[in-house]
A and B are shown apart, each in its own frame.
Chain A
Amino acid sequence: DAKTTQPNSMESNEEEPVHLPCNHSTISGTDYIHWYRQLPSQGPEYVIHGLTSNVNNRMASLAIAEDRKSSTLILHRATLRDAAVYYCILRDVQGGSEKLVFGKGTKLTVNP
């Protein structure tokens, strides 16, 4: 399974942008980059995913480096409800496996 590296924790202030980095230097051409987050006492929640181009949705933006060896999840204005563990996951859609391989993720703290 392709591996990702994320900082253990990050801190932000409410209403400020947050940039959550993820390194995936061994990414293959068919790996999609997925982001999930997990709020306390809840199951993981899908945030966004992409392959090569930057992606935007109502929750966040995903910026993917040109060489695809890193990506950044951008929360444009952090709220207290964004405090969660954020997981960056690679999924090979042609690899035949359906599983998501979670690391330890980045624990985001949002200060009021």
Chain B
Amino acid sequence: DTGVSQNPRHKITKRGQNVTFRCDPISEHNRLYWYRQTLGQGPEFLTYFQNEAQLEKSRLLSDRFSAERPKGSFSTLEIQRTEQGDSAMYLCASRQANQPQHFGDGTRLSIL
């Protein structure tokens, strides 16, 4: 059990640029989640995958956001045309059925 891995740990970009984050879940965890956390707040749910199928999406996931999980293993979260309000920590979690969610340490996004 090597834990949930997220890359990069930090990303600084200019407003309007596209960014992509990667999440490698714990092996054999078929469920994968993305959350966003802003300063002083708890994490907010964005989306959920079971294997390669995206089964749940929050209304926070605007048209500029897209998440994929090809082959049901790693996942990517892309933000297009970044805005100042996208600055946050993006967290990934995974789990097996009947087990709690295990979180990675997140990717911190800063928009200049």
Contacts and interface: CB of A to CB of B under 8 A. Distances in A.
B11 interface: no
B96 interface: no
B56 A97 contact: yes
Contacts of A43: 4, 91, 93, 103-106
A47 B12 CA distance: 32
Given A98-B48, A99-B48, A99-B56, A46 B101 contact: yes
Interface in B26-66: 31, 33, 35, 40-45, 48, 55-56, 58
B102 interface: yes
Contacts of A99: 33, 45, 48, 56, 58
A44 B91 contact: yes
A2 to B, nearest CB: 15
A94 to B, nearest CB: 14
Contacts of B56: 97-99
A85 B37 CA distance: 13
Interface stretch (A19-27, A64-72, A76-84, A100-108): A100-108
Contact of A98 (B31, B44, B91, B103): B31
From DSSP, what is the main secondary structure of chain A's interface residues?
A: loop
B85 interface: no
B100 A49 contact: yes
A45 interface: yes
Most interface-central of B4, B41, B42, B104 (chain A CB within 10 A): B42
A98 B94 CA distance: 11
User: Closest 5 interchain pairs by CB?
Assistant: A102-B42, A43-B103, A99-B45, A46-B100, A98-B48
